Amino acid sequence: MKIEDFILKSEGSWKSMRSSHILTFQKFEEIHSLIDIKLLSHQEQAVQNLIESMPPQSGNLLTPFHMKWEAESDWEQSSHKESSSGSCLLIPISKSPNEGVFIKSNGYAECIPSISQYQLSKDGTIELTTRYEKTIAQEKIWFASKNLRCRASLIKIAESSGILQTSYASEIRQLNKSEE
Amino acid sequence: MKIEDFILKSEGSWKSMRSSHILTFQKFEEIHSLIDIKLLSHQEQAVQNLIESMPPQSGNLLTPFHMKWEAESDWEQSSHKESSSGSCLLIPISKSPNEGVFIKSNGYAECIPSISQYQLSKDGTIELTTRYEKTIAQEKIWFASKNLRCRASLIKIAESSGILQTSYASEIRQLNKSEE
Q: Looking at residues A50-60, what average pLDDT do you find?
A: 94
Interface test mutation site (partner B, options A26, A147, A168, max chain B beta carbons within 10 A) = A168
**A170: which chain B residues are within 8 Å (Cβ-Cβ)?**
21, 23, 166
- B17:A15 CB<8 A: no
What's the confidence (pLDDT) of residue A161?
Answer: 85
What's the confidence (pLDDT) of residue B175?
Answer: 87
State the pTM of this model: 0.92
A17-26, B53-62, B109-118: least confident range = B109-118
Q: Looking at residues A23-40, what average pLDDT do you find?
A: 95
Q: What angle do CA A173, B18, B176 make, to 5 degrees?
A: 150
Percent of chain B with pLDDT over 70: 93
Would the pLDDT of B120 be above 60? yes
Taking only the tens place, the pLDDT of each residue in B26-38 is: 999 999 999 999 9
Q: Which chain A residues in 146-175 lie under 8 Å from chain B, judged by CB atoms? A: 148, 150, 152, 154, 161, 163, 166, 168, 170, 172
CB pairs under 8 A between A and B: 74
ipTM of model: 0.90
What's the confidence (pLDDT) of residue B25?
Answer: 93
Element containing residue A127 per DSSP (H, E):
strand A126-131
Q: Regarding predicted confidence, which is higher, A161 or A30?
A: A30
Q: What angle do CA A50, A51, A53 make, to 5 degrees?
A: 65
Taking only the tens place, the pLDDT of each residue in A90-116 is: 999 999 999 999 999 986 666 788 999
What's the confidence (pLDDT) of residue A109?
Answer: 66
Residue A25 has phi, psi (to 5 degrees) of -95, 0
Residue B98's nearest CA partner among B178, B32, B30, B3 is B3
Q: How confident is the model at residue B146 (pLDDT cuts 50, 70, 90)?
A: very high
Cβ-contact B29, B76 below 8 angstroms? yes
Q: Is B34 on the interface with A (CB under 8 A)?
A: no
